[in-house]
Structure formats: structure tokens, C-alpha cells
Amino acid sequence: MEPILELHGIFKYFPGVTALESVDFALTPGEIHALVGQNGAGKSALIKILSGAYTADAGEMRFLGAPYRPRTPLDALEAGVRVVYQEFNQLPYLSVAENLLFERLPRRFGVMLDRATLRRRAIDLLKRVGLELDPAIRLEHLGIAQRQLVEIAKALSSTGRLLVLDEPTATLTPREVTRLFEIIRSVRASGVTVIYVSHHLQEIFELCDRVTVLRNGRRIESFALSETSAPELVRLMVGRPLEAATHAIEADAAETASPAPTKREPALRLDGLRARGSSYPVSFELNYGEILGLAGLVGSGRTELLRAIFGADRRHGGEMYQDGQRVAFADPLDAVRHRVCLLTENRKEEGLVLAMPLRVNVTLTDLAQVSRAGLLRVQTERATARHWVRELDVRSRSVEQTARELSGGNQQKLIIAKWLFRDALIIMLDEPTRGIDVGAKAEIYTLLRRLAKVGKALLVVSSELPELMVICDRILVLSRGRLVGEVHRNEFDEERILSLAYSEYLAAKPQAEDRSS
Amino acid sequence: MDENRGISDQAKLGGSKTPAKAVLQRVLREAGIGIALVVLIAVFSAFAPHFMDESNVTNILTQITINLIMATGMTFVILIGGIDLSVGSVMALCAMVAGLVLKSESVPVPVAIAAAGLASVIVGMICGFMNGFVSSFWNVPSFIVTLGMLNIARGGALEVTDARTLFEFPNMFNNFGTATLFGVPAIFLVALSLVLLGWFVLTRTVFGRLIYSIGNNEEAVRLSGHNTFTFKVAAFVISGLTVGIGAIIYMARLTIASPILGTGFELNAIAAVIIGGTSLNGGRGSLIGTFLGACLIGVLADGLILIGVGDFVRQMITGGVIILAVILDSYRARIADRAQ
């Protein structure tokens, strides 16, 4: 049978990153096709190219036998491609009915809203996804699972030929998942082809016909699900063991990991700490001179944990000890006073004052050092900033340059500089190399190892497992908010860590447990 | 893959500005308003009779004094990304309270004047504190909070004397309104020193640095371990302080205190700040710009009168200038985005 959708040699670049590299992909009409891969494997980029949200930088697509090149989401919609994203684009203050039919509101006399038809069609659509509610109520009053179903119903509102679902079950209860699968199967029966993106391998085996594995922006393999198994899929998503381009760091880490800790007490000890939105208490120790990694899938609660420690979000119970002393940082200011810092994943939004000079950014953490009686000493500040910019090799023309002009890697170094200026001892980093090109990544790795070597305690969150395996001494694995394992450097094994990261998702009906708490 | 990366790196280098060009751009940006002011003065000197006469220049300086004082405080508020719509009304409240103090006959005149000045400043700062506290603590847009304060203060000003106007202040007080020093109105010199003081605070102190930083990226400042709340409230208190000073000076000039004085002054103050190049989004701008902006508004108003443009048309032209200034600001923002 001729494929309904064909992709040939699709490339997509972002500054410093190749999101998709020569991806070939074909869909048989009427199949439910699973798309799997680690975070950053290229699933989202691929979906967005199909939906017209991104344009491919190279390659060809054919849909229904004709060349397909959507430039906007509207193009894709008109061609018959419907996408349900993980993050919804909904209008919370409008009614459910209006949300459902927003793209083509029924009219009377060309200008008037046809309320009767709107309501009737909305009720029909809601019935198809098994939602029994008044379509006139405002969307904001719906829970997240109901909103997800509304989004799916919306995708069914027009006759599409291809339906793309991105992690549709992340917020659903088992009963709703069962219902959703029925809907998907009935949609297929009406001649629609489905692409199904999910972390839940169990669901994929239950629902899908074929699967495509993506890794690092490349298509690794496509085959029928009857020919494979969950362990094999995990192995394919992980790929071959990391190439040893980082032997130097390996040797260095082996050397620093072994010596006795410089201080007896751990730098930070968590005892049953619960972050916002997590139902599981987390306990671990972070030592001086080590880099501790936090691995897990997106949404597994890693960022929330860092923010809870830092006092940026509220904590729900649990205790923290710094150097053996009980601490409870009330807010970031409190944490910073205790020489704890957090480098967030949003470098530009939360790490830097982009429009201001490097000098200002470096000294922002401790202006007392460059002022006397509230008066700034700009000469001192300039000299200080120059020192740190040189120390961390931030490539720039001068410290008067604005932070905006630096590349991503150098911006990250600048943020590290500002915390070293403050003399932070415990450094937490969230996705420290996101959006940074490969060369600069290696520099950041070396820098982090250097910090560990001089006795800092580092806690690093990263979605790139190879990254954690290069820099960390130990890796903790979170799965659905639960700390499911700790792996030491000599036991690092990508497949094992990833299995742990998926473990709570593979477990039967984990949602029910979540909800009851 | 690697080839591609090389190209994008080169593009980045090519796109970055050379220092000389950056400096030139910056001068143009900062000096734009100054150039506009010079051109305007030149045009009026040529076409408006008596524009450069000493008496007219004195008149202009007197006219812009109050706006300059209020715009100085307003600059702090707008730099943190806020707005203060209450300044005109708060000024009336300050004036009424100060007027009552001034008219108390139980104390010697110099003491009464000092007490009135103090009362005016304190009332202004209290109102500013309330604006800042409410908007920062509950995270309510300052637009709304200060709109509420606009009504509260105006009502308060009317309530204090039951809408009566206060007059017959001591001569010593009234004389200050018309006093000159080396031919320059004394009240203008007060305004000028406030601008200079404010400029010093904004550019040379830790406080000023944090005001700018918060306006640029509050979250980054918070995560850097600063208490942003204090600084945001402080900006509004400073606005209230300048309103208090403005009120007492305005009374000296008018020799009366009326509960309806200052109506619409908030718009002039905001206009001066915006024309001066301070971004309504906060984080960018300067008091030098505000000073030039206030001068531009004053010169424009005075010059248009001299060449015979009527009141109504004059108002229309001033409005046009404000819109023009904001359009220019949006171009600036777009250029900055492109640089990113």
C-alpha cells in the first residue's frame, strides 16, 4: 500500500543544535504509529514540522500522494493534519463549546454567532470523547484531564486524515486512558492515520501497530511492535555506549571521586524533602568535591526539587541539613546567604540581566563587595568583573558589553562567574548546557569538573544522560517524582539509568496511586 | 553538521557591532531628545517673537519646575516597570495638609514653614508607600493601584477643608515662589538639584543599580539573592517624596493651596519621562532624558503660545509628540531584539 505520509531526508537546525538529521519516515494508511525517543531525540521537532509550526531546513515531504510543505499551522490544518500538543493552546475564559469549534465557529447571516449549532456540535464532540459536561461552562473551570480530552475532541472537530497525539495520557486516569484508546481506535476505523507520541512503552504495545525510534535527531529504526520488546526499544533509544571523547574528564573524575571527603559532614543532606506537586519524599546526601547528577524524564520533578531546595518554591515537609546544621531556606535570598546557588534552565529569563553589561551581571550577586556606603565603585567593579571573565574564559570584547551579545555557552559561564564571585559553595545547575553547541558544552563540562576539584558541591539536572555520565560522580534517578535509584560512576550504564527513569511509567496504573494521595 | 555550525558562528561574529558603531548608536539614542530640543529652540528663536527674552526664559523655567520635580520621582517608578497615576491628586492632598500647617498661628513663621514642608513630604511618602506596598505585596498592577490612590487622595484633599481653598500664607513663604538666584528662579534650582541628586542615586549607587536591574529582569535579581520587594516599594516612596516637595513649591508659586490643584499633572510627568526615552517596560532610560523631556514639553508649550497657536491646537500637538516618542521607543526595542 502506498504510504499516506512520506518524509525524506528532513533536517532541522537550531542555533548550535541539529534537531533533526536526515530523517526518513513513512506512514501506512490507517495505522497507529508510535514515536519514541529520549528527551531531545527530535520527536517534538518532527511533530512541529508536520504541523507547520516549524519549517524543515532541508528534505521533502509527501502527504496523500502530493508534495506537502506547510508553512503555517493553518496550511497543515487545511491539508488534513491535526495535532494535539502536550501543552494546549486553549482560551481559558471562553466556553468549552467555543474552544472546541474556535477554528470554524458556526455563523448566522455571516456575522452572528450561531449559538444553537455551536452547542449542538459541541455536545456531539464531547460525547465522542466521553465527556459529559455543559459546553457552556468556561474552560478555566475544567481540570487538566478534562482539558486534555477537550483538546482531543477539538482535533476531531474537523475531518482530518492524520491525527498526531503528543503525550496525550500524561494527565489521564487509567479509566480515561482506556476511553481514549477506544476513541483512537474508532478514529482509525473511520480512516484516519494516527501518530502517537508517548513515554509509556506499555501503552504503546497495547495501542500501536508500528513504532519508530528516534535518537539524537536521527531515525534509528521503524518496525512492527509485534517484532520487538520493551527492553529492545529502551536499548535502541539509548544507543551505543557513549564514545570516549571525554577520557580526560573520566580520568579526572576517577581521581577526584576516590579521595576522602574534605569535610566530614555532607554539604547538603535532604531528609524526606517534598517539592511542590510531588507526592514522594526525597532523601539524599551531596558531598563537597563531587558532582551529583539528577536524571529523569521531563516532568519527573527534577527542576521542582532544585527549586524547593533553593527556596524558590514552597516545600511540603522534610528537612535539610547543611554541613550538619538544620537549614530551611525561606527564599532565594536566604539560600544565597548560606552560599547556595541555583542556575536555572532559563538562562535568559532568570539568570541574566541581558540588556546590562557583563560587569553588572557578575557583581549582581554581591554588590557590597564593589561598593562603599551604598556608593558603587565602578573601577573596582570593572577590575573584579575582568578577573572573573578571564578566570572562566568568557569570550567577550569587554566587560562593558551587554550580556545579550554573548553566545549561549559564554552566557552560562557568565552566570557561573557571578556565583563564584559570591563565593557559592553548593552550586545547583538545571540543564546547564541546553541550547549550547557541542564545543562549548565540553568547555562547560571541564569547568564544572574544575569546580568540583576545588571543593564545591555540585548538583546537576540534565535531560541528556550522556552529559551526566561524563561529568557526574553519582547519578540519582527520579521517575514520576520518586527517587528510584542511585548509580555510582563505576556502575554507570545508560540502559540501566534509563530503565530506572522509565520504571514508574512502566508500572501498572501508576496514575491511580498519584491521584489518591 | 560541523560545517553548518561554522557558518552560524561566522554569522554571529559578522552580526556583532563594532565598538565605534555601538558608541555612535548609543549617542544617537541618548542624544536624540537633546537634538530635538536644540532644533525646537532654534526654530522658536527664529520665528517666535521675544522667545529668547530673559523674561520669557525665566517664565519657561518656572513653568517646567513642578513637572520636572514630579517627573524625577516618576522616572524611578517607570524604571522598575511601574507607573504612578496618583501624583497629581497626591500633590493636592500634600498641599492641603501643608496649607493647614502653614496657617497655624501659634508658632513662629519659619517654624510653620518648616513644619509645612515636612508635612507635605511625609504625606507624599505615605501615599507612595501605600502605592508601592499594595502593588508589590499583592502583585497588583500599579496602574490600577495608583488609579485608586488618585481618587483617594483627591477625595482626601477635598475633605480636609471641605473643598475650601487656603490662602493668605506668610509673605516669607510666598516670596520664595518668585525669588531668583543669579537671575534663575530659585524653585527651578531646587528642581535641578533634585534631578542631579536623582541622577547620582540612579547611576552611582547600589540602590540605583538594583532599580535598573529589577526593571530589566526582576526574576534574575530575585534569584541572585536580593529582596526586590523593598526596592520596588522604595521607588514609589521616592515618587511620593518628589510629589511632596513639588506640592510645597507649587503652593509658594501660586500663593494658595487648592484641593483641585495638580489635576492632570500625572500625564505631564509621564509624558516627560517617556519623551525622555525611558521605556514603559522599565529597566532602560535616564534622568537626563527626563530632564530634557520636561524641557521639551515646556519649550513646546511656550513657543507655540508665542507664535500664536491656540490652547486647543497646542494640546493636540503635545499629544502628537507623546505618541511620536513612544513610536520611536518601540523602534528602539525592535532594534534591540534584532541585536539578540
pLDDT tens-digit readout, A161-185: 999 998 888 777 777 888 889 989 9
Q: Which of A272-281, B237-246, B280-289 has the highest mean pLDDT?
A: B237-246
Percent of chain B with pLDDT over 70: 88
Q: Which of B8, B226, B340 sits opposite A333 (nearest CB)?
A: B226
- Cα A172 → chain centroid: 19
Asked if A437 reaches chain B (Cβ–Cβ under 8 Å), the answer is yes
Per-residue pLDDT tens digits for B208-247: 999 999 999 998 999 888 899 999 999 999 999 999 999 9
Is the distance from CB of A457 to CB of A426 less than 8 angstroms?
yes
Is the distance from CB of A366 to CB of A447 less than 8 angstroms?
no
pLDDT higher than threshold 80 for residue A17? no
As a whole number of angstroms, the distance between CA B238 and CA B90 comes to 13
pLDDT higher than threshold 90 for residue B82? yes
Asked if A58 reaches chain B (Cβ–Cβ under 8 Å), the answer is no
Is the distance from CB of B77 to CB of B239 less than 8 angstroms?
yes
Asked if A353 reaches chain B (Cβ–Cβ under 8 Å), the answer is yes
Asked if A352 reaches chain B (Cβ–Cβ under 8 Å), the answer is yes
The residue of A18, A309, A356 whose CB has the most chain B CBs within 10 angstroms, and thus the best one to mutate to test that interface, is: A356
Average pLDDT value for chain A: 86
What pLDDT does B93 receive? 98
As a whole number of angstroms, the distance between CA A286 and CA A288 comes to 7
Q: Which of A367, A407, A422 sits opposite B12 (nearest CB)?
A: A407
As a whole number of angstroms, the distance between CA A205 and CA A231 comes to 12
What pLDDT does A242 receive? 41
What pLDDT does A239 receive? 67
pLDDT higher than threshold 90 for residue B96? yes
User: Edge-to-edge strand order for the sheet containing A426-430?
Assistant: A340-343, A426-430, A457-461, A291-295, A474-479, A482-488
What pLDDT does A254 receive? 52
Surface-to-core class of residue B9, CB atoms within 10 Å of its CB (0-12 exposed, 13-18 middle, 19+ buried): middle
Contacts of A312 in chain B (CB under 8 A): 223
Per-residue pLDDT tens digits for A196-214: 998 778 889 999 999 999 9
Please count the other Cβ atoms lying within 10 Å of the Cβ belonging to residue B318: 18
pLDDT higher than threshold 50 for residue A502? yes
Helix (H, G, I), strand (E, B) or coil at A58: strand
Please count the other Cβ atoms lying within 10 Å of the Cβ belonging to residue A368: 9
Nearest CA in chain B to A20: B1
Q: Which residues pair with B252 in a beta bridge?
A: none
Over residues A153-159, mean pLDDT: 82
Asked if A337 reaches chain B (Cβ–Cβ under 8 Å), the answer is yes
As a whole number of angstroms, the distance between CA A516 and CA A514 comes to 6
As a whole number of angstroms, the distance between CA B178 and CA B254 comes to 10
Q: Which of A312, A356, A437 sits opposite B212 (nearest CB)?
A: A356
Over residues B168-192, mean pLDDT: 92
What pLDDT does A509 receive? 45
CATH superfamily of A5-238: P-loop containing nucleotide triphosphate hydrolases (3.40.50.300)
Closest CA to B80 of B208, B201, B179, B200: B208
As a whole number of angstroms, the distance between CA B145 and CA A501 comes to 48
Domain A247-339+425-516 in the same topology as domain A5-238: yes
Contacts of A435 in chain B (CB under 8 A): none
Contact A371 B205 (CB under 8 A): yes
What pLDDT does A441 receive? 78
Q: Which of A18, A355, A405 sits opposite B1 (nearest CB)?
A: A18
Of A244 and B297, the structure prediction assigns the larger pLDDT to B297
Interface confidence, given as ipTM, is: 0.81
A346 secondary structure, DSSP code:
-
Residue A32, CA atoms < 13 Å, CB-side half-sphere: 23
Closest CA to A190 of A75, A65, A66, A29: A29
What pLDDT does A203 receive? 87
Over residues A253-264, mean pLDDT: 52
Grid cell digits, residue A234: 529502551
Per-residue pLDDT tens digits for A297-332: 877 889 899 999 999 888 888 999 999 999 999 988
Nearest CA in chain B to A395: B13
Over residues A56-60, mean pLDDT: 92
Per-residue pLDDT tens digits for A403-440: 988 888 899 999 999 999 999 999 999 999 877 766 67
Given this structure, which CATH class describes domain A247-339+425-516? Answer: alpha beta
What is the bridge-based pairing of β-strands A457-461 and A291-295? parallel
* Largest separation between any pair of C-alpha atoms in chain B: 87
Contact B220 A351 (CB under 8 A): yes
What is the bridge-based pairing of β-strands A319-322 and A268-273? antiparallel
What pLDDT does B2 receive? 37
Over residues B265-282, mean pLDDT: 92
As a whole number of angstroms, the distance between CA A512 and CA A172 comes to 10
Interface A–B counts its CB contacts (< 8 A) at 90
pLDDT higher than threshold 60 for residue B113? yes
Of B23 and A359, the structure prediction assigns the larger pLDDT to A359
Asked if B220 reaches chain A (Cβ–Cβ under 8 Å), the answer is yes
Surface-to-core class of residue A373, CB atoms within 10 Å of its CB (0-12 exposed, 13-18 middle, 19+ buried): exposed
As a whole number of angstroms, the distance between CA B196 and CA B219 comes to 30
pTM above 0.90, yes or no: no
Per-residue pLDDT tens digits for B302-340: 999 999 998 899 889 988 988 888 787 777 666 655 554
As a whole number of angstroms, the distance between CA B246 and CA B263 comes to 14
Q: Which residues pair with B5 in a beta bridge?
A: none
Given this structure, which CATH class describes domain B61-334? Answer: mainly alpha
What does the domain layout of chain A look like in residue ranges?
5-238, 247-339+425-516, 347-422
DSSP secondary structure string, B178-245? Answer: H-EETTEEHHHHHHHHHHHHHHHHHHHBHHHHHHHHHHHHHHHHHHTT--HHHHHHHHHHHHHHHHHH
Nearest CA in chain A to B9: A16
Residue B201, CA atoms < 13 Å, CB-side half-sphere: 17
Is the distance from CB of B177 to CB of B249 less than 8 angstroms?
yes
Asked if B222 reaches chain A (Cβ–Cβ under 8 Å), the answer is yes
